Chains A and B, each alone.
Chain A
Amino acid sequence: MKFGKRLKQQVQDTLPEWRDKFLSYKELKKLLRLLSTAPTSLLNGSSIDYGKAEAEFMYLLNNEIDKFNGFFMEQEEDFIIRHKEVQQRIKRVVELWGPNGSQPSEADYKDEMEKIRKAIVDFHGEMVLLVNYSNINYTGLAKILKKYDKRTGGLLRLPFIQKVLEQPFFTTDLISKLVKECETIIDAVFPAEEEAERAKEAKEAIVVAGEGIFRNTVTALLTMQEMRKGSSTQSAFSLPPLNLPDSDLIQSIQLNAAVPIV
């Protein structure tokens, strides 16, 4: 149940509106269990049950995919709009404090810059979380399909997953592009690095509380690391262990559990 646990953890830490948009992994597993216990015998009753359970399973699978697609495309649309807005906002600030603009006070400038920085970082974070959302759901789907084939001896997995690969929720290229553009903007908006040295020493024990983008991001990273650590079913087709360059940085961030993570 390792994936199930990890997924649960993610869902708990995720942004509130996203909670019900993740894969219903547990439910799919339950249906699978039904499938494997309802034998494909020639008896009238059980074959109907099997067909029924199978149909339910497929129905749920399809529903989940639609759910992902709907949610993903909606978020994507929002991000596209916000992306433009962020750019506009910065442009306005630059103009306002530029040579031709009305140059309001220094304090206002600082204030506005702070707000913009926070907005951009959060925006970046949300987009990354959406990519994470897509990925986790894909992983879950791949796992459940693998289990399905294993339990029923079917050949559902390969073609189905090929289809999934083409789904909107999995084709995250646009979002990744926006993320990268965001990173460039951020570099422009953040001040120089000298003060960063001072702050680095203070990073030893940073406690992250509450439900927020940052918290969710850290959870996502740690979850990914855990999921790829290796399992009983590891094979040439499994993902290799996660290679985080500065994993000490991540480890040093303790998550102050707002909700007990089981």
Chain B
Amino acid sequence: MEARPAFSIERSSSNQLNNIGMSGALPSSLSVHPTPLEETYPRFSDSQPAFVEKGLKTRTFNHSSHISSSGAVGHMFSSSPGYSTDLHHSSLSPHEKHSRNAHFISQSMSNMASVPLPYSSNNGPLPSTTSTHYSNGSSASWHADSLPSFLDFSVNASIDNSQVESSACNIMATEEFPKRNDWQEWADQLISDDDTLTSNWNDLLADNIQDLEPKAADPISKSSSQFSAGHQSQGHQQLPALSGENNVGVAPSSSANSAPAKPRMRWTPELHEAFVEAVTQLGGSERATPKGVLKLMKVEGLTIYHVKSHLQKYRTARYRPESSEGAAEKKLSPIEDISSLDLKTGIEITEALRLQMEVQKRLHEQLEIQRNLQLRIEEQGRYLQMMFEKQCKSGVEPFKASSSAIGDPSGVSSDTMKDSLAKNESEASKTDHCRSGPDQANGSTTLEESSLQDTSKVQASDDLKQNDNEDSAQPPKRPRTDE
């Protein structure tokens, strides 16, 4: 049966994950296991206009900013598991509760097998718990803001959506079934098998059950990942989702392995300090064990996988300076001075290094400046959008009689705007604001000029102002596409 060889694959991959430690596994897990990628898709696909109609996806990429957490705690980025993992949520929750009860599992398996579609469609409301659990105000507010415009977009593409989704749902139904079955079988075998593996498994489940449970699958996310089924298989040497059981077998296993490891840890110097302290207390990097360090650190949300990978990195870093750092640096060819091909005196070396340092400093400076500018540009774009919405709201009454479709203040199509333009020239300033849509951060025309003058808040530099001269003459017909 497929289960046997598939199981061994899973074991090796899970061992691999455990042995490598999560550090190396992060990028390698991204490449070896396609599922994190597809799992993360729904996270960002919140912004996907085409699918917004079906469900309000509150799962966003949960990035706790530095502000919101204390210095000592790292930042957890738990990605909402997407397609494949979602399949296993259903299996995992009963699994968790009756972890050694094979009977129940096979029971639940048959339950799920018989109702693939309804299960998936019921998961809509659940994601909200995820967002409350992990997200900040920022992610929630982003979602709220983006909704209107996406809803508008989805209106335009509605026909496409319905077709896409219906076909997707069909594919989805057939696909889920084999996956769930195999997953259950392996989960079964895992339990009955190796003790350490089981304890690991239970650890994983315990750690992450709170992550996984609320994050149920969305039909939308599933359907959207359908299209990429072909993609994944090519890109990541994982087996195509729609093919036979053998292939399907591996996918869930890998996702099962990667799902617990998924929450990405963002380390900070303070956290690292705590880590180093714990390690020293335990007798040094060689002697310390991840479990011990984890216990000593007492940091909430830190899992043993994070500690494991970090410890590994730490050990490598300590070992390197002693032996190979010199060699490693020689690989990166140093600067060559005109006086000779090999660096003669210490002074020349030092000066070469100094020069390198200067250039690096320069680059960093410029990068910071550039980043600030970019932030300001986006801020301005946001501000303009706000203003636009306000203007549209206040300007709606006089426009109501003339244009029919300005019902949705934030999602304004260009057609509507053309109408209002034609009919209400007198309301000059309002019209100006409304006609160039919110997304004029793309950089067109008159809106910038008027807003740059009006919005004294925005301290755009003189350079920025000079540059839009040539654009002001352009006709307002299709404001959004002007560049």
- Seen from chain A, the residues whose Cβ lies within 8 Å of a Cβ on chain B are 15, 40, 42, 44, 47-48, 50-52, 54-56, 58-63, 65-67, 69-71, 73-74, 76-78, 80-85, 89, 110, 114-115, 117-119, 121-122, 124-125, 128, 131-132, 135, 138-139, 142, 146, 149-150, 153-163, 165-168, 171-174, 176, 178-179, 183, 186, 190-191, 195-196, 198-199, 202-215, 217-218, 220-221, 224, 228, 230, 233-242, 244-246, 249-250, 253
Residues of A within 8 A of B255 (CB): none
Selected from A40, A61, A70, the residue in CB contact (under 8 A) with B26 is A70
Residues facing A in B301-316 (CB within 8 A) are 310, 313-314
Residues of A within 8 A of B422 (CB): none
Selected from A44, A233, A237, the residue in CB contact (under 8 A) with B377 is A237
Nearest chain-A residue to B264 (Cβ)?
A73
User: Could you tell me the distance between the alpha carbons of A193 and B334 in the complex, rounded to whole angstroms?
Assistant: 21
Contact flags (1/0) for B195-229 with A, using CB distance below 8 Å? 00000000000000000000000000000110110
Residues of A within 8 A of B61 (CB): 65, 163, 166-167
Closest-CB distance, B385 to chain A (whole angstroms)? 6
Residues of A within 8 A of B190 (CB): none
Nearest chain-B residue to A233 (Cβ)?
B483
Closest-CB distance, A186 to chain B (whole angstroms)? 6
Known contacts A50-B160, A77-B313; A202/B354 CB under 8 A: no
The list of the 9 closest CB pairs from A to B, nearest first, reads A210-B333, A235-B443, A240-B463, A62-B44, A199-B351, A159-B146, A237-B443, A212-B332, A51-B164
Q: Does chain A have a CB within 8 A of B2?
A: no
Tell whether, in the assembled complex, residue A173 and residue B66 are in contact, meaning their CB atoms are under 8 Å apart: yes
Q: Does chain A have a CB within 8 A of B359?
A: yes
Closest-CB distance, B325 to chain A (whole angstroms)? 6
Tell whether, in the assembled complex, residue A218 and residue B26 are in contact, meaning their CB atoms are under 8 Å apart: no
Q: Does chain A have a CB within 8 A of B188?
A: no
User: Could you tell me the distance between the alpha carbons of A140 and B60 in the complex, rounded to whole angstroms?
Assistant: 22
Further pairs besides A40-B157, A55-B164: 4, Cβ < 8 Å: A71-B27, A114-B346, A166-B63, A195-B351
Closest-CB distance, B437 to chain A (whole angstroms)? 8
- Give the segment of B4-12, B123-131, B287-295, B335-343 that binds chain A: B335-343
Chain B interface helix/strand/loop/mixed: helix
Task: Offer 25 A-B interface pairs, CB within 8 angstroms, sorted by A.
Answer: A51-B160, A52-B227, A65-B44, A70-B27, A74-B23, A80-B267, A81-B317, A119-B321, A139-B374, A146-B442, A149-B439, A149-B480, A155-B49, A162-B142, A163-B44, A171-B63, A176-B368, A179-B364, A195-B350, A196-B354, A202-B338, A206-B337, A209-B336, A217-B356, A240-B461
Nearest chain-A residue to B373 (Cβ)?
A239
User: Could you tell me the distance between the alpha carbons of A160 and B353 in the complex, rounded to whole angstroms?
Assistant: 41
